Every structure is written in structure tokens, then in C-alpha cells.
């Protein structure tokens, strides 16, 4: 992944000063290869330490490596434009989705999916919560799980969520599929689930997911809509693929 996309991907985890640096670099990327770290800090009204911290947070050893990669990327982009080899929209969009699908290996692991399947297999009852667009992911899991077979229920209405959530018991599993995990009802029900001894599985794209502390297992996915500026790409394809990975691992275990 190029340095610009990498900066976008980690945006939700930035501190206030790191956000100032991020916005400056996105607006003036060539300043990175033309100026020093002192200039970046000055122009973003932050400090050298903050610039270095940002570079390390997004996976570089320091500013020097980030500057080198930025230089290589910007020069390469110019060459592609000059040689008229810009990919058509269809190829560009499919490649972006493919890249973010591959990014799942850096935000999560097969071990985490395996732990999630263990929770699913031992549960007495499985209640899958998904609201708005993530409701489709909850329904996808429900429909596909029926072929395993796995007895579960998908709930996409908040009124029903409240009724079902507060009926959870020890041995049940609350499976929340949420891009941000910020729905207040989720925090309330997840807290209740832990109190009564039910397990909680969370599938999210938010590295600062407010309900993560309630989860027996939390799976973090790449946040595609937040990592591409001026992009109309949607998060649901990544959610669907994650659900399929989870179901595939579940099917392997259930047929052993």
C-alpha cells in the first residue's frame, strides 16, 4: 500500500497533533520530499517528535523511511500519468477492494477467527446484531450458517435488539457486527451480556471501538470508506468477506 493510503487507513487512531500532520501531508504531499522534518513540524504547528510518532504509528521506522517511500510513490505516480497508463475505473475500483481485502491479514489473524469460531461452536444460543447496512452482514451470516447447520438468529431492529439482548443467559453468544461499534444500545447490551455470563463476539472496523472491552474476541477489519479520500467505496464488501472467512473456518471445524 502506498504512503498516502497508509495515512488514510490509520486516521481514526491519530492524536490531535497527529491529525494536524496528517491533514498537512495530504494537502501538501510534495512538502515531504522537498522539506525537512523541521519544516513539516513547523507547517503543521506540531513538533518533530509528533512527526516521528506518526511515521512509526503507520508502520515506518521513522521520518527518513517515510520520506523515501513518499518520494518513490510520488515520482512513480507522475511517471504513470506521463506514460498514459492510468487504469480505467473498473480496474481501479476492483483493485482497491482487492487491496483492502488483503489488508485483513495485517489487521487481524487466522487465530482470531479460530477463537471466534470456538465461541460460536460452544454457544447455546447465538444472537447476531447488525444495524442499518451491517444488518445485511448479520443476515448473510444467518442464512449461510443454516447450511452448516448452526442455529442462530439475526436481529436488525433496535427495538427487537433490546428485547432479545436483555434475555441473554450464561452460555449464549452475542455477536455484534458494527462498523464503528458506537450505537449506545450496543454498549448497554454488551455490558449486560458480560454481567450474566454470556460471551460477546465483535466484528468492527473501528480501531477505537467503544464496545471492544466487552468482547471475548474482537476482529478488526480494514476501514475502506475512511481510508480513501473523496471515494465512494463502501465498507460492506469487506464485511461480507470477513463473514465468509468466519463461516469457512467454522465449516472446517464442524466437519472434522
Domain containing 9 — which CATH number?
1.10.10.10
The answer on pLDDT for 239 being more than 90 is yes
Residue 222 falls inside a structural domain:
yes
Cβ distance 31 to 40 under 8 Å? Answer: yes
Q: Is residue 116 domain-shared with residue 73, that is, in the same domain? A: no
Confidence of residue 91 (pLDDT cuts 50, 70, 90): confident
* Residue matched to cell numbers 521513522: 62
Q: Is residue 122 domain-shared with residue 241, that is, in the same domain? A: yes
Q: Is residue 123 domain-shared with residue 80, that is, in the same domain? A: no
Q: Is residue 109 domain-shared with residue 211, that is, in the same domain? A: yes
Confidence of residue 83 (pLDDT cuts 50, 70, 90): very low
Residue 91 falls inside a structural domain:
no
SS3 content of the chain, % helix, strand, coil (to 5): 60, 10, 30
pLDDT, greater one: 175 or 37: 175
The answer on pLDDT for 232 being more than 90 is no
Residue 119 falls inside a structural domain:
yes
Q: What's the whole-number average pLDDT of the chain?
A: 88
Write the CATH number for 116: 3.40.50.10490
Instruction: State which residues form the domain around 218.
Output: 105-254
The number of folded domains in the chain is 2
Confidence of residue 36 (pLDDT cuts 50, 70, 90): confident
Q: Is residue 109 domain-shared with residue 49, that is, in the same domain? A: no
Mean pLDDT score, 72-96: 63
CA distance 137 to 176: 10
Q: Is residue 59 domain-shared with residue 116, that is, in the same domain? A: no
Mean pLDDT score, 44-65: 92
Q: Is residue 182 domain-shared with residue 211, that is, in the same domain? A: yes
Strand segments, DSSP code E, in the chain are 126-130, 152-155, 173-177, 199-204, 217-220
Residue 99 falls inside a structural domain:
no
At 230 the pLDDT is: 47
Mean pLDDT score, 182-191: 96
Residue 240 falls inside a structural domain:
yes
Residue 24 falls inside a structural domain:
yes
At 227 the pLDDT is: 61
Q: Is residue 154 domain-shared with residue 226, that is, in the same domain? A: yes
Burial of 78 (0-12, 13-18, 19+ CB in 10 A): exposed
Residue 219 falls inside a structural domain:
yes
The answer on pLDDT for 90 being more than 60 is yes
Q: Is residue 111 domain-shared with residue 80, that is, in the same domain? A: no
Share of residues in the chain with pLDDT > 70 (%): 91
The answer on pLDDT for 88 being more than 50 is yes
pLDDT, greater one: 232 or 66: 66
Q: Is residue 64 domain-shared with residue 121, that is, in the same domain? A: no
Q: Is residue 120 domain-shared with residue 243, that is, in the same domain? A: yes
Q: Is residue 112 domain-shared with residue 230, that is, in the same domain? A: yes
Amino acid at each position: 500500500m502506498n504512503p498516502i493510503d497508509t495515512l488514510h487507513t490509520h486516521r481514526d487512531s491519530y492524536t490531535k497533533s497527529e491529525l494536524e500532520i496528517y491533514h498537512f501531508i495530504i494537502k501538501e504531499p510534495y512538502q515531504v520530499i522537498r522539506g525537512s522534518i523541521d519544516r513539516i513540524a513547523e507547517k503543521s504547528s506540531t513538533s518533530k517528535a509528533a512527526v516521528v510518532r506518526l511515521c512509526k504509528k503507520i508502520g515506518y521506522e521513522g521520518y527518513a523511511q517515510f520520506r523515501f517511500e513518499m518520494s518513490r510513490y510520488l515520482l512513480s505516480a507522475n511517471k504513470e500519468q506521463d506514460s498514459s497508463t492510468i487504469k480505467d475505473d473498473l480496474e481501479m475500483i476492483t483493485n482497491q477492494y482487492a487491496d483492502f481485502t488483503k489488508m485483513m491479514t495485517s489487521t487481524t489473524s487466522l487465530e482470531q477467527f479460530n477463537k471466534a469460531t470456538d465461541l460460536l461452536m460452544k454457544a447455546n444460543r447465538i444472537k447476531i446484531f447488525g444495524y442499518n447496512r451491517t444488518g445485511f452482514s448479520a443476515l448473510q451470516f444467518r442464512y449461510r450458517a443454516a447450511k452448516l447447520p448452526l442455529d442462530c438468529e439475526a436481529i436488525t431492529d433496535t427495538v427487537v435488539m433490546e428485547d432479545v439482548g436483555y434475555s441473554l443467559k450464561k452460555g449464549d453468544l452475542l455477536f455484534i457486527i458494527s462498523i464503528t461499534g458506537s450505537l449506545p444500545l450496543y454498549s448497554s447490551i454488551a455490558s449486560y451480556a458480560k454481567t450474566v455470563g454470556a460471551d460477546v463476539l465483535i466484528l468492527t472496523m473501528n480501531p477505537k471501538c467503544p464496545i471492544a472491552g466487552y468482547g471475548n474476541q474482537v476482529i478488526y477489519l480494514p476501514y475502506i470508506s475512511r481510508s480513501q479520500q473523496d471515494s465512494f467505496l463502501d465498507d460492506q464488501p469487506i464485511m461480507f468477506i470477513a463473514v465468509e472467512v468466519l463461516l469457512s473456518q467454522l465449516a472446517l471445524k464442524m466437519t472434522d
